[in-house]
Amino acid sequence: MRRYSPRVFRVASRFFRQRSIVEDAAQEVFLKAFTELGSFEGRGSLEGWLTRIATNTCLNLVRSAKRRPEANVSDLSEEENSWVQGQLAAVAASQHKSTETSIVAADLAGRVLETLSPDDQLVLTMIDGEEASVKEVVEATGWSESKVKVQVFRARRRMRAAVEKLLGSKRPVANKTLESTGKR
C-alpha cells in the first residue's frame, strides 16, 4: 500500500481539493482494490490496474456528489483576483510564480473545474494540466481513444467559457495582456 499510495493520492488530487476528501477517496480506492484483488489477471501492471480503479472510483464519487456550483467573479477572493491579474500579466512576461500564488491558483483552478462535469475535469487535468497523452488517459479510464479526443475538445471549450465568465469584468486586463503577448 505504501508503494502505491502516492500514485493513488495523485489520481484523487485531480478530483478533490480538500486533503480529507482526497484521503477518503484514496481509502475507498484501496478498499475496493483489496476486495477485487482476485479479479486482477496480471495482464497489465498492478499500478495501471490500481490507477484505473482509482480513476473510476473518484469519478463515481464526484458524480454522486452534489450539483456543481456556478463560477462567478464575485466569488473570487482578493488573493484570487490578484492572481488572475498577475497571471494574465505573467503570460506576456513569462514570469515565474511563488509557491503562495501557486496554492491560490490551484484552489481557483479547483473551483473553476468544479463547475465542469467530472469527465471534463479528468481529461483537462490530465491532458492540459499534467500534459499526459491521450493514450495515458485511455489506460487510466478505459475509454476509447476517440471518446477521449472528443471529450477533451469539448472540455477545453467549456473550461474556456467558464474562465471567460470568470474574467467577466476583467476584460480590459485580458485585452491588455493579449496585446502585450502579441508584441512579444
Partner 1 sequence: MSDKHIIDILDESRLSTLSESERAVVEQHAEGCSECRSALAAAYLSTALLRERAANSFTPSPFFATRVLATLRKRQSSREFWGLARMWRAAGALVSAMAVTVVTLAVVTFVVPANETGIDQDLVTAYSADEVILGQSELPDEVNYGQVWNTLYGGDEEIAK
Binding residues for partner 1 (CB under 8 A): 1-2, 5-6, 9-10, 12-14, 19, 22-23, 26-27, 30-31, 34, 84, 87-88, 90-91, 97, 102-103, 105-106, 108-110, 112-113, 124-125, 127-131, 153-154, 156-157, 159-161, 163-164, 167, 171, 174-175, 177-179, 181-182, 184
Terminal Cα-to-Cα distance of the chain (whole angstroms): 49
- From CA 138, how far away is CA 142, in angstroms rounded? 5
- From CA 88, how far away is CA 173, in angstroms rounded? 7
Placement of cell 501492471 in the chain: 45
Query: What type of residue sits at position 56?
Result: N
Grid coordinates representing 32 are: 475496493
Q: How far is the CB of 44 from partner 1 (least distance, A)?
A: 23
- Smaller CB separation from partner 1, 46 or 103: 103
Placement of cell 497571471 in the chain: 87
- Smaller CB separation from partner 1, 43 or 94: 94
The Cβ of residue 76 has, within 10 Å, a number of other Cβ atoms equal to: 18
- Smaller CB separation from partner 1, 56 or 89: 89
- Smaller CB separation from partner 1, 43 or 85: 85
